[in-house]
Amino acid sequence: MTRFNYIVTIHNKEDLIERVITGILFCAGENSHVYLVLDGCTDGTERVVDRLMEDYAGLPITKLQAPDVHEILSLNIALRQTPQDGSGYNILVQDDVILADRAFERKVRAVNERFEDKVGVLSFRHGINLAIDESVPTIEETDLIESSYGYGLCTEPLLPGFAVERMICLRSPQCISFATIRQVGLLNEKYAPYTYDDHDYGLRCLAAGLVNVVYSVNVRSRVEWGGMRRKPQPGVAAIMKRNKGYVYEDHKDFIRTLRRESFIKEPVKIAMDDAGENPERVLRRYDESRMRLREYNRKRSFNFVRRVREKLRF
């Protein structure tokens, strides 16, 4: 029977984590296990988690600890401790994302079946293609597609129930099958603490003959919920520049072999026996998200302290 490992990396989210966990339990089936990675929490998050584990005693929930190492290392801590044999899927969830589709697991299986179980990374958020800018040289991102449950990054988002291929499919949430972990391996810790590991992993999947897919399913988040957006991370701009350089150095020759036209096909509808959400209602919410994103970016552009902090040397 197919198993689902839900892996949640958590850092100081006492105000939101109960909604995140209950959302997962709402979607989880009988052969699922939830792994909560507490990554150096200093607020009341762990107390909330402990209370929920008592309230849901008997349900398969495991608490893991990480020493404030951020997302990549936290995910690998969990992936090393969770079973990866047989048939199953790892659902990687950040602590600012709420799963909200009772048919979530059936839909994950349906997407993988539609792509003949050759999916490397399945994202429920957004995806991009890559090209090499020979004049710099560096990588450049193109052909952004975002789920219609996303933040409002696209003018034409991916409609509910549709799937589309991209070279790189980004967290969160994100699904990586047990078979992919066995074939491709864990996340590349060279990219720790965060950013551009999705690019590295997606390219490794393509090199292994797999495809990466974005699928639009009901997940909820807001741009202001994100931890890195709530509190500026020292040196984040330097980390991103370094890791972008890693992607170029590690994968430039392979990226040059990829043909963009292979990754801009029309989205495909994943047939399900449920009616799903009304697309017009989803798109209205997407437009609201776009307005929130615009206002957030406007305020952020005037936050001088934040911008200086982000540019500190890593």
pLDDT per residue over 14-33, tens digit each?
A: 999 999 999 999 999 999 99
What is the C-alpha to C-alpha distance for residues 37 and 99, in angstroms, rounded to an integer?
17
Rg (CA), the chain: 19
- DSSP annotation of 262 reads G
What is the C-alpha to C-alpha distance for residues 83 and 191, in angstroms, rounded to an integer?
24
Q: With CA atoms as reference, report the closest residue to 115 among 182, 171, 179, 197.
A: 179
Length of the chain in terms of residues written: 314
36-64: per-residue pLDDT in tens?
Answer: 999 999 999 999 999 999 999 889 999 99
Pairing of strands 219-220, 168-170: unpaired
Structure tokens at 55: 């309230």
169-200: per-residue pLDDT in tens?
Answer: 999 899 999 999 999 999 999 999 999 999 99
Q: With CA atoms as reference, report the closest residue to 64 among 185, 184, 73, 105.
A: 73
Q: What residue type is assigned to position 20 of the chain?
A: V
* pLDDT confidence tier of residue 303, bands split at 50, 70 and 90: low
Report the pLDDT averaged over residues 127-146.
97
Q: With CA atoms as reference, report the closest residue to 74 among 240, 160, 197.
A: 197
Pairing of strands 119-123, 61-66: unpaired
What is the C-alpha to C-alpha distance for residues 290 and 281, in angstroms, rounded to an integer?
14
Structure tokens at 26: 């709402």
254-270: per-residue pLDDT in tens?
Answer: 999 999 999 999 999 99
Question: Range of 170's domain?
Answer: 3-310
Model pLDDT, residue 282: 95
Beta bridge partners of residue 127, listed in sequence order = 145, 169
At 126, is the secondary structure helix, strand, or coil?
A: strand
At residue 298, does pLDDT exceed 90?
Answer: no
Q: At what angle do helices 17-27 and 45-55 cross, to 10 degrees?
A: 30
Say which residue the tokens 């969160």 belong to. Answer: 172
Tally: H helices and E strands in the chain: 10, 14
What is the C-alpha to C-alpha distance for residues 46 and 36, in angstroms, rounded to an integer?
10
- DSSP annotation of 124 reads S
63-111: per-residue pLDDT in tens?
Answer: 999 999 999 999 999 999 999 999 999 999 999 999 999 999 999 999 9
Query: From the CB of residue 128, how many other CB atoms can be counted at a distance below 10 Å?
Result: 21
What is the C-alpha to C-alpha distance for residues 31 and 15, in angstroms, rounded to an integer?
28
Beta bridge partners of residue 128, listed in sequence order = 168
The domain total for the chain is 1
* pLDDT confidence tier of residue 230, bands split at 50, 70 and 90: low
Percent of the chain whose predicted confidence (pLDDT) is above 90: 85
Say which residue the tokens 């931890």 belong to. Answer: 227
Output the average pLDDT for the chain: 92
Beta bridge partners of residue 163, listed in sequence order = 215, 268
138-172: per-residue pLDDT in tens?
Answer: 999 999 999 999 999 999 999 999 999 999 999 98
Say which residue the tokens 């850092």 belong to. Answer: 11
What is the C-alpha to C-alpha distance for residues 186 and 62, in angstroms, rounded to an integer?
20
Residue 55: which CATH number? Answer: 3.90.550.10
